[in-house]
């Protein structure tokens, strides 16, 4: 049984853009199938659904959810000189991707995300972010025929990023949104459960897909807890009211985002529970983004939604960072919720 950090590293290094999450799903399945009292299956949409038998039947059927997919690129054209044109898969800031190493296609061919040389950039172009359609991927091929032996249209590309610790309490790696959420739910599945729970590892969140809604329809819970990694903008040049959340201050419990108005009774219950259990917790200081709760809470006749997020800096880039102390406190909260939300 792997540790949280071992699982997180393996998940971060795995390649799994939206719609191509198979490698990530296999990693999770191979690990959790060995956990006590866990039964796993894949639904028709492609979500991995894990049922964990508890000691008791819950008053409220409880579902936890985290998405497996990551942002990346999809190959749309190969030109006569062997360069690859692409479209983004999910929201990626073009300012941070030029010159980055990529892994391309099923065989993880090394590539480089290129643009025209800086001395060819016109003065007015410096005033605006570079457009993705002016960029290309260089895989070292000299011709279209040579490139086509290595890559085909529809292949995916992901950032070629390491996973490593830095500072006293931080780790960095790609796709921590939301592989960190997946790793936290794997921790939850390791432990003996007081009540039956279901954990869903979902797909296609980064492209705004409804796959989590499919999972929720299948599971039919009363309450759903979405476990995410959310933007921590607590960095220089950002005013405090725009921080969204801060690293080092524990899990983020949402009352609203751009996709969901969360159940206020459950929001207040969780914040009070954190005080009672001495778990540091915070809420979002700014309303931004959305997650799988947008689709989950609309499934069937309606599901009471909760979002518990891990503060992460630099998401949707070649490297994101989280604090291990935040992960530890989030894991503690999720364990408590796996009991308390079943009882209320």
Cβ–Cβ under 8 Å, residues 310 and 180: yes
Cβ–Cβ under 8 Å, residues 32 and 315: no
CA angle 117, 163, 249 (to 5 degrees): 105
Cβ–Cβ under 8 Å, residues 17 and 154: no
Rounded-to-integer distance, Cα 317 and Cα 97, Å: 7
Nearest to 94 by CA among 135, 59, 57, 152: 135
φ/ψ (deg, to 5) at 273 = -65, -40
DSSP letters for 216-264: HHHH--SEEEEEEEEE---STTS-GGG--S-TTS--EE-SB-SS-B--H
Cβ–Cβ under 8 Å, residues 254 and 92: no
State how far the alpha carbon of 118 is from the alpha carbons of 95, 115, 125, 149, in Å. Answer: 14, 8, 10, 31
Cβ–Cβ under 8 Å, residues 223 and 341: yes
Nearest to 14 by CA among 108, 84, 101: 108
Rounded-to-integer distance, Cα 56 and Cα 58, Å: 6
The DSSP bridge partners found for residue 88 are 73
Distance of CA 160 to the CA centre of its chain: 17
197-202, strands of its sheet edge to edge: 38-42, 48-52, 197-202, 62-67, 223-231, 304-312, 252-253
Active site residues: 205
């Amino acid at each position: 049984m792997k540790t949280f950090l071992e699982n997180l590293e393996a998940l971060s290094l795995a390649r799994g853009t939206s719609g191509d999450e198979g490698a990530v799903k296999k990693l999770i399945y191979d690990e959790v199938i060995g956990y006590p009292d866990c039964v796993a299956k894949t639904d028709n949409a492609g979500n991995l659904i894990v049922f964990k038998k508890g000691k008791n039947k819950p008053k409220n059927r409880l579902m936890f959810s985290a998405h497996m997919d990551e942002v990346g690129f999809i190959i749309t054209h190969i030109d006569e000189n062997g360069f690859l044109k692409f479209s983004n898969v999910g929201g990626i800031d073009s300012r941070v991707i030029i010159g980055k190493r990529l892994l391309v296609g099923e065989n993880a061919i090394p590539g480089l995300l290129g643009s025209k040389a800086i001395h060819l950039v016109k003065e007015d172009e410096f005033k605006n972010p570079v457009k993705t359609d002016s960029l290309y991927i260089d895989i070292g091929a000299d011709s279209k025929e040579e490139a086509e032996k290595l890559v085909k249209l529809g292949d995916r590309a992901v950032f070629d990023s390491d996973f490593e610790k830095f500072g006293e309490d931080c780790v960095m790696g790609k796709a921590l949104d939301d592989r960190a959420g997946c790793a936290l739910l794997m921790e939850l599945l390791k432990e003996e459960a007081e009540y039956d729970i279901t954990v869903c590892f979902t797909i296609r969140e980064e492209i705004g897909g409804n796959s989590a809604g499919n999972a929720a329809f299948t599971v039919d819970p009363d309450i759903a807890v979405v476990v995410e990694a959310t933007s921590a903008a607590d960095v220089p040049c950002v005013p405090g009211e725009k921080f969204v959340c801060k690293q080092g201050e524990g899990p983020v419990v949402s009352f609203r985002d751009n996709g969901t108005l969360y159940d206020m009774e459950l929001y207040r219950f969780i914040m009070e529970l954190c005080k009672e259990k001495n778990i540091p917790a915070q809420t979002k200081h700014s309303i931004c983004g959305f997650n799988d709760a947008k689709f989950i809470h609309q499934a069937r006749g309606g599901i009471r939604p909760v979002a518990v997020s891990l503060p992460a800096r630099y998401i949707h880039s070649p490297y994101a960072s989280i604090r291990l102390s935040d992960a530890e406190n989030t894991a503690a909260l999720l364990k408590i919720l796996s009991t308390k939300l079943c009882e209320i």
